[in-house]
Amino acid sequence: MCDSNCGTPAETEATTERLHEYFDKEGDLIDLAVVRGVYKNRFDMTDFFRLCTNYSLQEINEAINYIERNVTPVQYSDRDARRMRKQIEQPIIELDKSKGIESFYTTPTHYGSERSNLLLVSWAIGGIYAIWLVYALATGITPQVASIWDFALNMMVIAMLPHAAFEILGLAFNIAAWYSNNHKLALTGAILYSVSIAAFPLMIAFVAAQTALSYVAFAKMRKE
């Protein structure tokens, strides 16, 4: 015999259904099919829930698990998904701003099914140069300065250290941009390459190609 907590089958089904209803910070019911269509992977859906709702991380993980197993996404093109993302997040950001909370738009981890070939070539060139650069700097320092040539060589190595640091940082962002297909990371990598050129202009010939490719990739990805 069932006790008073069991409820009727209809009540139980309704209770279960309510467990998978989620609301944003404005109190509006979230359309999970739209969320899955706009935020195309687990990482992006996590960013959505963290920005637009007040649920705990555990509740967010449960929600995403449910969405991945049971919700069919609304199909959006990449362009429409970007537009929808901004429309979804703008009211929440404005709400946070009115409360004195600083919030930012989420960044897609991946749009499109193919990674940028321009970025691939860029980081391949940058990687080869970075390996040579590290080797050259590691072997260039002369512990015992026996002549003016040794002194000049040591000074050149020291002068190249900022150039090398920015080149390697640019390479790291270049690879991250290619992997995630993120145009903002591509721009960051291109800027770091540019700074490495400014830090030691004599090496421009070795950095120009990956710098130009990164800027072109950024422009192309931004339009897509």
**Other CB atoms closer than 10 Å to residue 144's CB: what's the count?**
5
Q: Residue 15: inside a domain, yes or no? A: no
Structure-token match 């040579």, residue found? 132
Same domain, 196 and 137: yes
Pick the last residue of a domain from 44, 67, 98: 98
Q: How far is CA 42 from the centre of its chain?
A: 13
pLDDT exceeds 60 at position 15: no
Q: How far apart are CA 67 and CA 55, in angstroms?
A: 15
Same domain, 36 and 65: yes
Same domain, 149 and 205: yes
Q: How far apart are CA 188 and CA 170, in angstroms?
A: 7
Number of domains in the chain: 2
Residue-wise pLDDT tens digits, 126-181:
999 999 999 888 886 555 555 666 666 677 788 899 999 999 999 999 999 998 88
Q: Residue 5: inside a domain, yes or no? A: no
Q: What integer pLDDT is reported at residue 3 of this predicted model?
A: 42
Mean pLDDT of the region 36-54: 93
Same domain, 129 and 93: no
Q: Residue 64: inside a domain, yes or no? A: yes
Q: Which domain holds residue 93?
A: 20-98
Q: Residue 107: inside a domain, yes or no? A: no
CA-to-CA separations, 187 to 42, 81, 194, 198, 209, in angstroms, rounded = 25, 21, 10, 17, 15
Residue-wise pLDDT tens digits, 171-224:
999 999 998 888 889 999 999 999 999 999 999 999 999 999 999 999 988 766
Structure-token match 């997040």, residue found? 89
Q: How far apart are CA 65 and CA 156, in angstroms?
A: 56
Q: What integer pLDDT is reported at residue 138 of this predicted model?
A: 83
Q: How far is CA 203 from the centre of its chain?
A: 29
